[in-house]
Amino acid sequence: MKISTTTTGIFPKISSSKEVPSLRANLHKADRGEISQEELETIIQKNIERVVREQIGADIDLPTDGLIRWTDLFSPFVQAWDGITRRGIHRFYNTNTLYGEPVVEGDLQFNPSKTLGDFKFALSVSENVKATLPGVFTFAASCVDTFYQDEKKLREVIAASLLEEAKALVAAGAKMIEIHEIELGWGDYDRAEVSEIYKKFGELDVKVVVVSYFQNFSEEIVQALISAKCGVGIDVQKPHSHDFEKEGMILQAGIVDSRETKIESAEFFTEYKNKIESTFAAAAEIIYSTSSHVEYLPHEIAMQKIALLKNLK
Amino acid sequence: MKIDLNLPLFPTTTVGSFPKPSYLAEARKKFYRKEISREELLELEEKATKEYIEMQERVGLDVLVDGEAERGDMATFFAERLNGFEISEPVRSYGNRYYKKPRIIGEIEWTEPMTKHFFEYAQKLTDKPVKGMLTGPYTMMDWSFNEHYSSREEVVRAFAKVLRQEAEELQKAGCRIIQVDEPALSVRSDEIELAAEGLRLVTEGLEMYSITHICYGAFEHLAPKIHLLPVDQIDLEFAGRDFELLDQLRGHEFPQDVGLGVYDVHTHKTTPAEKISEYLEKALTYFKPEKIWVDPDCGLKTRSLPESEEGLREMVAAVKELKSKN
């Protein structure tokens, strides 16, 4: 069984580093027109490089590009695609972070988002960088749909656009795409539809891992994702089921709690590692990770926590 | 306890925070760099408070707030003044906005009044009632990292104990309306009983009219249980989603008074009086007139002072027109 490590989702966008220009300060400057868009782009790249190097420094096998440009899980796509805009803010599931509520007000048409450019730049820092996309069900459930007014149709068109994003990431060299499907851990969805949608992602020439956090997938959803040839991410500290076919599966095990600052003990890791690796002994690969977005933690604590992941290898 | 406040029909108010004037934002930075003393900062915070009160009087609001000149983040402010905390480095809440999230590292203990000075200072400047403003125990729990207590319930009860003490201090200072904000509850309807317990522990038996403010969440899940919250008024954000929330509340029990957020505070565009009038007419299809208070969707700290004043004027104009019809 292959064992590796990764981090999940948005990385802390700011750090105490004096070597890299402050993203926070420079975003404010850009808002006030004190620096140009070109200058801001350079600062964004320096920060992407910082987060990739920080993860490499913590011995993470599959670093993310940090999603430095993303204000929320949907923002880069809402900005790029036609037929969709955003209105007021809304709390993201059970967190104290907010997202701009996407509003579908026309026929949804794909345009490449800036995610691809950021990912390509991150690949120039490390060829092992993985890509990230929002989940189809999560994206659709977070939208206000004034155009299709048909939930299934909305998921279908969002899936088509996200699939185009995924294909572009694969063409750019992505070896793994992590898809954030929080909604599938919360809502009651048809297993056949989940399987049908994710089959198209699972057929791509890339490792696709669909992750949930805050609440885990049901057994039926896990089975649907596995049958679609996707890996599955779960938060192992939260209740989760094991009653599904595990042979050859890819499991992303969220073991480091990214919503609490308390540092996990060595005993905790030993206990969980033993439990996971015996329960999922038939899996092809286990990828240990943070339980959800790393940016829920302050930067210094996030760095302490992700440094612990190497002990699981 | 419901008390007679002797207020006009459709009382107008705000949710709590006001924008920091540039001199105050600058002074706070200087204070943290130790370039000015605590007393010098306090003087400027009082100056801002006086300006907030003057603005609210000028606009014609019925129930005023001190404007929270001395507060940064609504959870961090209290954590900085209680025992049992360390304050973390910043974490992001949205866009380019960050806050220093409290870390609970020991027993939570009240040491001295936290909000009484600015309540008293503001109340002395006006004959209109000023609200006492607290962040609720459930929200304090949910918006803190917990490294000490063994359960979320324990944390809520610990916060409720210290916030009760603070509420009693406000009551002794003459406060007759207390607002205990619980925005975190908006996405945690599964824990509404816990939030209700916290609110009860803070407010039960006080001779004050009690309000809780909740915003930006999944109200479709909260609506069926909202009657469980033991307060006199629930203040909600309605305008940001064009009053869709009203449809989600229909058919559910809502015994409390309602604070109607009629003005979207997350846009530079002012909600015009005509639009607010439409919202109010819509609200009257569900709530009885005597149950309605009127205010913005949320705190005004993300807006500029001129934007806030303009928005509040539109709100007051719409209420005036409505009163002429009722």
Q: Quick one: pLDDT band at residue A238, thresholds 50, 70, 90?
A: confident
Strand partners, B97: B94
How many angstroms separate the CA atoms of B203 and B106, rounded? Answer: 25
Q: Quick one: pLDDT band at residue A305, thresholds 50, 70, 90?
A: very high
From the list B240, B244, B237, B285, the residue with the least C-alpha distance to B261 is: B237
Residue range B41-90, pLDDT digits in tens: 999 999 999 999 999 999 999 999 999 999 999 999 999 999 999 999 99
Residue range B261-280, pLDDT digits in tens: 999 998 888 999 999 999 99
Among A108-122, B196-210, B214-228, the range scoring the smallest mean pLDDT is B214-228
Chain-centroid distance of CA A81 in Å reads 19
The yes-or-no verdict on residue B2 having pLDDT over 70 is no
Give the CA distances from residue B187 to residues A63, A86, B95, B222, B302, in Å, rounded to whole numbers and listed in that order: 31, 20, 19, 8, 22
What does the pLDDT read at residue A49? 97
For chain B, the distance separating the N- and C-terminal CA atoms, rounded to the nearest angstrom, is 27
Check if the beta carbon of residue A123 is closer than 8 Å to that of residue A167. Answer: no
Q: Locate tokens 């999944």: which residue?
A: B218
B146–A94 CB contact, under 8 Å: no
Residue A148, token pair as written in the block:
């299709």
From the list B77, B242, B294, the residue with the least C-alpha distance to B166 is: B77
Which residues lie below 8 Å from residue B243, measured CB to CB, with a gap of 6+? B279, B282, B283
Chain B: give the shortest CA distance to residue A16, in Å: 9
Check if the beta carbon of residue B158 is closer than 8 Å to that of residue B197. Answer: no
CA triple A50-A56-A58, angle to 5 deg: 105
For chain A, the distance separating the N- and C-terminal CA atoms, rounded to the nearest angstrom, is 11
Q: Residue B217: closest CA among chain A residues belongs to which residue?
A: A91
Chain B residues close to A295, C-beta within 8 Å? 91-92
The yes-or-no verdict on residue A71 having pLDDT over 60 is yes
Residue A305, token pair as written in the block:
């926590």
From the list B185, B181, B230, B232, the residue with the least C-alpha distance to B210 is: B232
* B142 touches A at CB < 8 Å: yes
Q: Give the global pTM.
A: 0.90
What mean pLDDT comes out for the span B1-19? 90
The per-residue DSSP string of A186-238 comes to HS---HHHHHHHHHHHHTSSSEEEEE--SSPPPHHHHHHHHHTT-EEEEETTS
What mean pLDDT comes out for the span B225-236? 96
Q: How many CB pairs under 8 A join A and B?
A: 74
Q: Quick one: pLDDT band at residue A16, thresholds 50, 70, 90?
A: confident
Amino acid in position B281: E
Q: Quick one: pLDDT band at residue A18, thresholds 50, 70, 90?
A: confident
What mean pLDDT comes out for the span A84-91? 89
Q: Quick one: pLDDT band at residue B1, thresholds 50, 70, 90?
A: low
Percent over 90 (pLDDT), chain B? 88
ipTM: 0.89
Residue A64 DSSP code: B
B96–A28 CB contact, under 8 Å: yes
What mean pLDDT comes out for the span B199-213? 97
The yes-or-no verdict on residue B3 having pLDDT over 80 is no
What does the pLDDT read at residue A225? 97
Total residues found in chain A within this entry: 313
How many angstroms separate the CA atoms of A260 and B147, rounded? Answer: 8
Amino acid in position B245: L
Chain B, residues 100-139, CB within 8 A of chain A, namely 101, 103
Chain A residues close to B241, C-beta within 8 Å? 87-88, 101
What mean pLDDT comes out for the span B121-129? 98
Chain A residues close to B266, C-beta within 8 Å? 88-89
Residue range B131-170, pLDDT digits in tens: 999 999 999 999 999 999 999 999 999 999 999 999 999 9
Q: Quick one: pLDDT band at residue B216, thresholds 50, 70, 90?
A: confident
Check if the beta carbon of residue A232 is closer than 8 Å to that of residue A217. Answer: yes
Check if the beta carbon of residue A212 is closer than 8 Å to that of residue A235. Answer: yes
Strand partners, A286: A3, A251
Residue range A97-152, pLDDT digits in tens: 999 999 999 999 999 999 999 999 999 999 999 999 999 999 999 999 999 999 99
